[in-house]
A and B are shown apart, each in its own frame.
Chain A
Amino acid sequence: MSFSTRVCLGVAVALLASSAAWAHHNMSALFDFNDRVTLNGALSKIDWRNPHIYLAVDVKSGSEQGQTWSVEGPAPNFFRTRDIAKADFEGALGKDVVVEVSRARDHSRAGLIRQLTLPGGKVVSACPQNC
């Protein structure tokens, strides 16, 4: 294979050696980074597991009003190293959040989280991983 070493560091930081940013999908294969959607709604479900977290959002306004979207975020480790806990999201269940996502290429009600605003106003960025 032709193997670019531009960012393939070759350093042996496979699992956990540096709490490495894990890449499960190439996100651009599934999500269109040029197609952004902002969802305003209630956080209704959390799946806080590897390799990506999933949230369900019941959208309350805009053209997606009445729809339930499944939005995908980075791995739990991403949040743990930013001092954002699962409990922060559990505390937001049933409350209003704002989620900016890249829309799924298949135009299903799914997206990749770029930024999320929790009920208390705390902004959680999924960049640079998801940007």
Chain B
Amino acid sequence: MIRSSMTKAVLCSALLLTPSISKAQLPRDPAERARVVAQIMEANARQLTLFDRQGRQVSTVGTRDLYNQPVFSPDGTRMAVVKPDLEKETGDLWVIDNASGKSIQLTVSKTRENAGSPAWSPDGKQIAYVALRDAYFGLYRKSSNGQGEEELLYKGSAPMTLTDWSQDGKYLTYFSTDLAGGRLYALPLAGTGERKPIEVFGNKSQNQGPRLSPDSRIMTYTSNASGRFEVYAIPFDPAASPGAALAGPWQLSDQGGTGMVFWRKDGKELYYLAADRAVMVIEVGAGATPKFGKPQVLFRPPADIAPGIGPGNASVTRDGERFVIAVPRPQLRQLTVYDRAGKVVSKVGEPGFYNQPNMSPDGTRAVLMRNDPRTGNVDIWTMDLASGKGTPITNDTDPQNAPIWSPDGKQVAYVSTHESISSIYRKAADGTGEAEQVFSYTPGAGMVLTDWSNDNKFMTFYTGVIVLVPIGNNQKASDRKEIDWLREEYLAGQGRFSPDNRYIAFLSNEDDVDRGEVYVRPFDPNKPDAPLAGPAVRVSKDGAQGMIAWRQDGKELYYMTRNWEVMAVDIETTPTFKAGTPRMLFSLPGPLPGNPLQWKNVSPDGQQFLFAMPTNASTQR
């Protein structure tokens, strides 16, 4: 289902404040709503694409749409997929004929409800799924031709993800995860009355994607028990008493396994996605205890889409002959420097999987997030804008985001999350030395770090609230207390200190719930927790989505409109703040995935602008 129960996805949402499609709250204004819907479609639509065992593209199915979780019917002629309806704010299941591309809608959810994670019955006549109905998650099934009513099989409460219907027809397998761990379940389908799930396995690790072998003796799943996700197997014995010691688990993958673990119908092969998104195969030998072979690469999907492929958008036919991938738009991005007229000044290095480029205070380097396609890891890097030479700042498996520069350009800071605790770290910009933990936040809470004040006294992040972290002392990270600088009924974020530290510019929907604008408020670094003085001064005129930056001399402010226009505003900061009329410098062909809008991409003199441009996009509109 689209409402993810995968922790990394949860972290992604929390840390980047990026909503899942089905949970996005769209603007009410029709024109604004249509604009946002079009942008979501452009950025997120995927093409269902079939591949053979050699990785050759066989065909495409239907047209590009917001497809997710494609699962083949047992005979491989149809697919069940999840497709959100942005207008209704729902997600529903559709069944598509692979040859014709024709589809039928299987489920019909009420507004702000959804259905997902489909699993076909062995005979292909029914599809089971998870649905949110009247504030409860449940396991349901319905005829695969869309006829009849849905049948509730099990009423749960917490989110769960269904992954399979056993080939003997006796069990549904599903999992439920949260930051406390992950549990694998099997729901017996036989009998009548209330069904009781069997908890097969669970611990503090993120255990996901259970599927039973064709003879229902083995359950495979993925887990991050070793520090990264790998594929495991355990015996499945529904008659075993709870907590009984079972053999295993056996680790099957050796270079990371992100999911999509499927059994061939004869039980002789297993398939999964490796960390680098290669499609892997494992031979399985018969015996009282199955003999699992060494993982082999079956094929590698096209490199420019690999980071966009996950276990939720790929699957395989029961005979192992066809693979479907919901192919996203190309993920490669070229770091590109523009001048004030929107002309390309330079392209930095080779294209890569870059996110959130921030320009250094002297305008010569960038700090960014870089996805390594070989490992699937994303780390913080700095990059020299003249030579394109990169330097790793982090090199680990913890989620990291929101890199920023220190005022002198000698350090970078970023957010890293370990076991549900998000912390701010800082480290030398040349990658040397150890990272220093600066601040540790509430367990389970994400934050987006946006700035580091010129006087080195504060960092700021946002959560809907603009929060200050005092760093001008020698306190330990655990002793530092955050200050809610702007916590109101309206949203506020992307705080940016003025060069003289007398103001903070930020984005807020104070005036219109459906529209962000750039505002500036006075800031007194000696009284950071004092009540706000007077009203905010609005800088933008017709909506903004971020990219707020001050020119170093404090005489110009920049932001980006909702139509991807780079704007400049003349400003005065003494004796009080005054803003002139915004004027467009240039526009870009949005949407621009990879450029979350809290980034600070303007050179200190306001002459150059750094973007991570899709490699398939034109450079200027």
Contact = CB atoms under 8 A, between A and B. Distances in A.
B9 A13 contact: no
A82 to B, nearest CB: 8
Nearest to A32: B158
A8 B491 contact: no
Contact of A14 (B16, B39, B40, B379): B16
28 contacts: A3-B8, A3-B12, A4-B12, A5-B308, A6-B9, A6-B310, A7-B13, A8-B16, A14-B18, A14-B545, A14-B597, A15-B17, A19-B513, A20-B25, A21-B23, A22-B17, A23-B13, A24-B445, A24-B464, A25-B442, A28-B178, A30-B444, A34-B156, A50-B465, A50-B490, A76-B490, A128-B3, A128-B22
B302 interface: no
Contacts of A17: 36, 39, 516, 545-546, 562, 597
Contact of B28 (A4, A9, A10, A81): A81
Given A7-B20, A10-B44, 14 more contacts: A1-B378, A4-B258, A6-B4, A6-B310, A9-B18, A11-B40, A11-B44, A12-B593, A14-B598, A16-B509, A22-B463, A23-B19, A50-B488, A77-B513
A57 B156 CA distance: 26
Interface of A: 1-30, 32-34, 36, 48-51, 75-78, 80-81, 86, 100, 102, 105, 114-115, 125, 127-129, 131
B202 to A, nearest CB: 13
Q: Give the size range of B's interface with the partner.
A: 35 or more
Interface string B472-499: 0000000000000001111111100000
Contact of A16 (B10, B228, B545): B545
Contacts of B258: 2, 4
Interface in B140-195: 156-159, 178-180
Given A3-B378, A8-B12, A26-B444, A33 B159 contact: yes
B448 interface: yes
Contacts of B156: 34
Interface of B: 2-4, 6, 8-14, 16-28, 36, 39-40, 43-44, 68, 112-114, 132, 135-137, 156-159, 178-180, 228-229, 256, 258, 275, 307-313, 328, 355, 371, 375-379, 396-400, 416, 420, 442-446, 448, 462-465, 487-494, 507-509, 513-516, 545-546, 562, 590-598
Q: 6 shortest A-B CB distances, which residue pairs?
A: A29-B444, A16-B516, A28-B178, A33-B158, A8-B12, A50-B464
A23 B14 contact: yes
A75 B158 contact: no
A16 B513 CA distance: 8
| Most chain A beta-carbon neighbours within 10 Å: one of B158, B446, B508 | B158
A76 B180 CA distance: 28
Nearest to B156: A34
A128 B489 contact: no
A78 B159 contact: no
B17 to A, nearest CB: 6
| Most chain A beta-carbon neighbours within 10 Å: one of B44, B256, B464, B595 | B464
B137 A28 contact: no
A1 B396 contact: yes
Contacts of B28: 81
Contacts of B20: 7, 9, 21
Question: Mostly helix, strand, loop or mixed at chain A's interface?
Answer: loop
B513 A81 contact: yes
B52 to A, nearest CB: 24
A130 to B, nearest CB: 9
Contacts of A11: 18, 39-40, 43-44, 591, 593
Contacts, number: 275
A10 B13 CA distance: 10
Given A9-B43, A15-B462, A28-B178, A3 B444 contact: no
Contacts of A81: 25-28, 513-514
A23 B593 contact: no
Contacts of A7: 2, 4, 9, 12-13, 20-21, 312
A15 B493 contact: yes
A45 to B, nearest CB: 16
A91 B2 CA distance: 36
Contacts of A105: 180
B478 to A, nearest CB: 18
Given A1-B377, A50-B487, A8 B494 contact: no
Given A8-B12, A11-B39, A77-B509, A128 B23 contact: yes
Contacts of B508: 16
Contacts of A114: 135
Given A15-B545, A77-B509, A9 B443 contact: no
B597 A33 contact: no
Contacts of B598: 14-15
Contacts of A8: 9, 12-13, 16, 18
A13 B24 contact: yes
A78 B158 CA distance: 21
A131 B377 contact: no
Contact of B157 (A12, A15, A33): A33
Contact of A24 (B11, B446, B546, B590): B446
Contacts of A18: 19, 24-27, 36, 39-40
B158 A15 contact: no
Contacts of A20: 17-19, 24-25
A14 B487 CA distance: 18
A51 B444 CA distance: 14
A81 B10 CA distance: 23
A27 B420 CA distance: 11
Contacts of A77: 25, 464, 490-491, 509, 513
Nearest to A10: B593
Contacts of A3: 8, 12, 307, 371, 376-378, 399
B84 to A, nearest CB: 11
B598 to A, nearest CB: 6
A103 to B, nearest CB: 11
Given A50-B491, A51-B465, A26 B132 contact: no
A71 B620 CA distance: 50
Contact of A12 (B11, B310, B398, B591): B591
B540 to A, nearest CB: 11
Contacts of A51: 463-465
